[in-house]
Amino acid sequence: MIIESIVTGPFQENTWILGDSNTHHALIIDPGDNALTIVKKLEALHLIPVFIINTHAHPDHIGAAAELQRRFDLPFAIHTADVITYNSAIPTAQFLGVMNLELPQITNYLHDGQVLEINSHHVQVLHTPGHTPGSVSFLTGKHLFSGDTLFKESVGRTDLPNGSYKSLQKSLVRLKQLPADIQVHPGHGESTTIAAEIQNNPFLKDLS
């Protein structure tokens, strides 16, 4: 398994590449910006992208998706409940000063408990709403791609439209119950582990 991150855009968003060293196929998770940089990373790793899957549809997580979809003819998937976020992504981007956001075409919808089988990767979809209604986390082996639900010693904000702190707390309880040695790869910032977050993250300490 190949796991690589690329920090993209003004919001320093983590685009994740999950690659198969045998088939050289790769998933792209949350291509936020700088499509050419992502392409160059794929080329350097000798990987061919086959699917874009997104933890949610905020502009800083989908900014490069349309260009990558067009270049490689890729399917693009979000959770059904995040269509509302997708539909408001362009005005949200304009509000943030990003005037040229292009939306990818949604070809697939994700749902809780779904397992994506792509080559040797079995990626389980965990619906973890709160930051957005359709936020998801992706679990494969000992690796969790948590989007903007769980960060190192912090969590995603819920004060944006359609955010819900109550829903986020329920999602954090779910993630807290995962094995302690799971490595967490967030949408922003450094990777961590479930064990470290249970011990150090103030948003998880008081949840049960």
The total of structural domains in the chain comes to 1
Q: Which residues of the chain have pLDDT under 50?
A: none
pLDDT of residue 182: 98
Q: What local confidence, expressed as pLDDT, does residue 200 receive? A: 95
For 63, the domain range is 2-205
pLDDT at 208: 67
Q: The tokens 């903007």 sit on which residue?
A: 148
The CATH number of residue 126's host domain is 3.60.15.10
Model pTM score? 0.96
What's the Cα-to-Cα distance from 161 to each of 50, 65, 101, 169, 197, rounded to whole Å?
Answer: 32, 22, 19, 17, 26
Residues 30-54: tens digit of each pLDDT: 999 999 999 999 999 999 999 999 9
**CA–CA separation, 48 and 69 (whole Å):** 12
pLDDT of 81: 98
